[in-house]
Amino acid sequence: MSERKVGFIGLGKYLPENRLTNKDLEKIVDTTDEWIRERTGIRERRIAREDEATSDMAVHAAKAALKNAKLKPEDIDLIIVATITPDMFFPSTACIVQNRLGANHAPAFDISVACSGFIYGIAIANQFVKSGIYKRVLLIAAEKMSSVTDWKDRATCVLMGDGAGAAILGEVEDGGILSVYLGADGSKGDLLKMPAGGSRLPATASTVEGRLHFLKMQGNELFRHAVRIMANAALKAAEPLGLKGDDINLVIPHQANIRILNAVAKRMGINPAKKVYLNIDKYGNMSAASSAVALAEAVEEGRVKKGDIILLDAFGAGLTWGGIIIKW
Ligand code: ACO
């Protein structure tokens, strides 16, 4: 019997209404629109309402994906939420979403892989569908990065945004996921982390005073690794299929920084203006949600056609990374 082909049978996204522009940020920290645009490619980002949690955005994106797939919540066999900004430590955001959707018979769990969360989630969903254990997996990547952003730190607060993307994976007749490559390097975990709030440094008045419940990043050092690692992840995903840069119709990368993406494309011999999907200008870095929203938008805008070879490529805290090749 031939192996099951696993692909995307529905996509959805949700972006909060509130736009925070670079000009708005000029009033909050010592920065300029020009610095942010030139160093990152970001013009504005979306910020969730105070009363809007990660699960709220996840539910919106999931409903859009269900509608797109013409499925009902009870058709879902498993829910995975990729997030580093869960509503709370437990219960998982996936369980909160399961209840809100009424996807009553679906097991549900979160994964914590930072910006590579959507890629790792696809890898997990792929295995469950390929093995025949589950027919339809709902994968949501949702982040409220604004909740872990230090609005006094100009080096990080200009980078992040909030949002959610969702995908339903299931069996497809042709194409689908052709290759998956994942990686991690825990020795570089200190480059990007939220130090307090976990069992190592539980919340106390002094952790709050020390601003340790916010994301801390060594941007310069990360930048250096990001280019090398993302280019390598792309290569490792393409290699088993014998694909070269020219064979790839569209790269849909994690949207961390336009300069990283241009440098990665150059290393792969790909024209970034034509073959790299970008929405960082509108949304900034939404961690795991970035790749998920980018995929949903690329398809929505007709940038992905049947038969196209698509590369998803991500890199993030952990460090973690991954590349996935899909035939659409
Ligand atoms: N506005 C104005 N000046 C600023 C700002 C700002 N918002 N932020 C920093 N600067 C200043 C710095 O203080 C520094 O000043 P100095 O030279 O007087 O010391 C100068 O600008 C240069 O700072 P760098 O940090 O060297 O700037 P760089 O060109 O590296 O850009 C950036 C910073 C955008 C953060 C970049 O390093 C980057 O994108 N890094 C990678 C981020 C990434 O990939 N993260 C991983 C994924 S995220 C995740 O997993 C959740």
- Mutation choice for ligand 1 from 154, 190, 216, 223, CB with most ligand atoms inside 8 A: 223
Predicted structure pTM score: 0.96
Same domain, 98 and 240: no
Residue nearest to atom 2 of ligand 1 (CA): 31
235 lines ligand 1 (CB under 6 A): no
- Residue 46's domain is classified under what CATH number? 3.40.47.10
Residues with a known catalytic role = 115, 254, 285
Q: What is the distance in A from the centroid of ligand 1 to the CA of 167?
A: 32
Same domain, 155 and 246: no
155 lines ligand 1 (CB under 6 A): yes
Q: What is the distance in A from the centroid of ligand 1 to the CA of 101?
A: 39
Of 37, 21, 45, the C-alpha closest to 293 is 45
Mean pLDDT by 10 residues, the chain (328 residues): 89 98 98 97 98 98 98 98 98 98 97 98 98 97 98 97 98 96 98 97 98 96 94 95 93 94 90 92 98 98 96 97 98
User: Are 96 and 164 in contact, with CB atoms under 8 Å apart?
Assistant: no
How many domains would you assign to the chain?
2
Residue that terminates a domain, selected from 174, 207, 230: 174
Same domain, 190 and 320: yes
Q: Assess whether the previous peptide bond of 319 is cis (omega < 30° from 0).
A: yes
191 lines ligand 1 (CB under 6 A): no
Residue 1 lies in a domain: no
| pLDDT value at residue 1 | 57
Same domain, 46 and 90: yes
Q: What is the distance in A from the centroid of ligand 1 to the CA of 215?
A: 14
147 lines ligand 1 (CB under 6 A): no
- Mutation choice for ligand 1 from 31, 39, 258, CB with most ligand atoms inside 8 A: 39
- Mutation choice for ligand 1 from 146, 191, 220, 321, CB with most ligand atoms inside 8 A: 220
Domain extent at residue 101: 6-174
Same domain, 196 and 157: no
Q: What is the distance in A from the centroid of ligand 1 to the CA of 38?
A: 11
Of 317, 313, 18, the C-alpha closest to 162 is 18
User: Are 293 and 165 in contact, with CB atoms under 8 Å apart?
Assistant: yes
Of 219, 214, 259, 284, the C-alpha closest to 21 is 284
| pLDDT value at residue 3 | 86
Same domain, 182 and 170: no
Same domain, 141 and 182: no
Same domain, 22 and 137: yes
Q: Which residues, listed in sequence order, are joined to residue 320 by a DSSP beta bridge? A: 184, 316
220 lines ligand 1 (CB under 6 A): yes
